[in-house]
Amino acid sequence: MTATVVQTGITNSLTQGQLHPRTPWVILGLSLAAAGGIVSLIASAVSSEFSLVGAIALGALFYLVSIVVISRLVEGSRKATDRFVTALVTGAFIIAMAPLVSLLFTVVVNGSARFDVEFFTSSMRNVVGEGGGAAHAIVGTLLMTGTAAIISIPIGLFTAIYLVEYGRGPLARAITFFVDVMTGIPSIVAGLFAFALFAIFFGPGVRMGFAGAIALAVLMIPVVVRSCEEMLRVVPNELREASYALGVPKWLTILNVVLPTSAAGIATGIMLSIARVIGETAPLLIVAGFTASMNYNLFAERMQSLPVFVFTSYSNQGVDTQAYLDRAWAGALTLILIVMLLNLVARIIARAFAPKLGR
């Protein structure tokens, strides 16, 4: 009994001159409530709608001012600066979240209007106005992205193996540097490259799915190299040395020890690189063109893809504008779902099969 009384009676010199941990939250709540009240008063005065964004912005401003003033009075100027920056940094994060939330919300709301069976089963052939779908675009996207993956995964993986297992000296340094530079190639330049390459063989005005796949491969290779290289470097050297000590040749060591150990990470990296190129629009717009018809042949005729479908539905709105807009949003929703799914699966693989490094 007495002990507790004594404990509460003593003022702790360590916590003196500090705000209670809960105080900032109370101030935040009060400022938001005050801002909400003021904004709703103004809204009723000029008879306009209550602005949630305005209320939150005003509340954040109130909080910023009051926390700095209170902290300066109780804790001193250095602590006040610290609290000010904490509020700013947290605010920066919330500001960055706003577009993401707004974007996802809009895409889901607008995209669900035409997110039906017909959208996935029919093409746009002979469709004017309502109806129609993106089956041809989805097939095109799968074909071109698949071909790009088939081209870039072996090149990327073997380059990563070269850099980690074999590469020494200036050539390896040059490859590392230019892979980094290659990650920065604008996607439209990759499209122009594929066009320039194919125009030599097939004449000007060439449009084909395979050229689109080449453009995507140029964008995909550096991403594959970077992620595979990172994963191969994580493999502990002890494993390689143990294998060499048993007399296993280098190539079998790589094949049977290094690659299986890093397989999960490599799979993750490859999925993320596919997720990156599957949403590319500009290069496909240039070299694969756009069409309303189904096309299964990579080597002839124009080929539609999902991102280009979204773009053309928006930019070439027909008579029935709403039908085209709905299709564009539904395409955007499909695209986001595919990309998110790829990301999610990649993360799950990475988490579930991560190598145990024995630490």
Judged by CB under 8 A, the chain residues 265 through 284 that form the site for other proteins are 275-276, 278-282
Query: Is residue 226 near other proteins by the rule CB under 8 A?
Result: yes
Whole-number Å distance between alpha carbons of 176 and 187: 20
Listed ranges 5-13, 127-135, 142-150, 219-227: which one lies at the site for other proteins (CB under 8 A): 219-227
CB of 121 to other proteins, least distance (A): 23
Which of residues 38, 64, 142, 189 is near other proteins by CB under 8 A? 189
For residues 238 and 253, the answer to whether their CB atoms sit within 8 Å is no
Listed ranges 20-28, 58-66, 130-138, 329-337: which one lies at the site for other proteins (CB under 8 A): 329-337
Cα–Cα nearest to 218, from 190, 254, 188, 249: 190
Listed ranges 115-123, 124-132, 184-192, 235-243: which one lies at the site for other proteins (CB under 8 A): 184-192
Site residues for other proteins, window 232-271 (CB under 8 A)? 249-252, 254-255
Query: Is residue 348 near other proteins by the rule CB under 8 A?
Result: no
Query: Is residue 135 near other proteins by the rule CB under 8 A?
Result: no
Burial 129-162 (b: 16+ CB within 10 A, else e): eeebbbbbbbbbbebbbebbbebbbeebbebbbe
Query: Is residue 120 near other proteins by the rule CB under 8 A?
Result: no
Q: Residue 33 or residue 85: which is nearer to other proteins going by CB?
A: 85
How far is residue 87 CA from its own chain's centroid? 27
Interface characters, 52-91, with other proteins (x: CB under 8 A) = --------------------------xx-xx--xx-xxxx
Site residues for other proteins, window 282-301 (CB under 8 A)? 282, 285-286, 289-290
> Quick one: tokens of 278?
């599957």
Which of residues 33, 69, 196, 357 is near other proteins by CB under 8 A? 196
Query: Is residue 182 near other proteins by the rule CB under 8 A?
Result: yes
CB of 192 to other proteins, least distance (A): 4
Whole-number Å distance between alpha carbons of 294 and 179: 36
Q: Residue 262 or residue 281: which is nearer to other proteins going by CB?
A: 281
Q: Residue 81 or residue 293: which is nearer to other proteins going by CB?
A: 81
Query: Is residue 112 near other proteins by the rule CB under 8 A?
Result: no
Where are the alpha helices (H) located in the chain, listed in sequence order?
2-9, 23-45, 52-74, 77-111, 117-121, 135-161, 169-183, 187-202, 209-234, 237-245, 250-253, 259-261, 263-278, 282-287, 306-315, 321-352
> Whats the size of the chain, residue-wise?
359
Query: Is residue 181 near other proteins by the rule CB under 8 A?
Result: yes
For residues 205 and 162, the answer to whether their CB atoms sit within 8 Å is no
The residues, ordered by sequence, that sit 6+ positions from 342 with a Cβ below 8 Å of its Cβ are: 271, 272, 274, 275, 278
Which of residues 50, 177, 296, 299 is near other proteins by CB under 8 A? 177
Q: Residue 23 or residue 183: which is nearer to other proteins going by CB?
A: 183
Site residues for other proteins, window 143-172 (CB under 8 A)? 154-159, 161-163, 165-167, 171-172
Phi, psi of 247 (to 5 degrees): 85, 15
What CA dihedral angle connects 48, 50, 55 and 56, to 10 degrees? -130
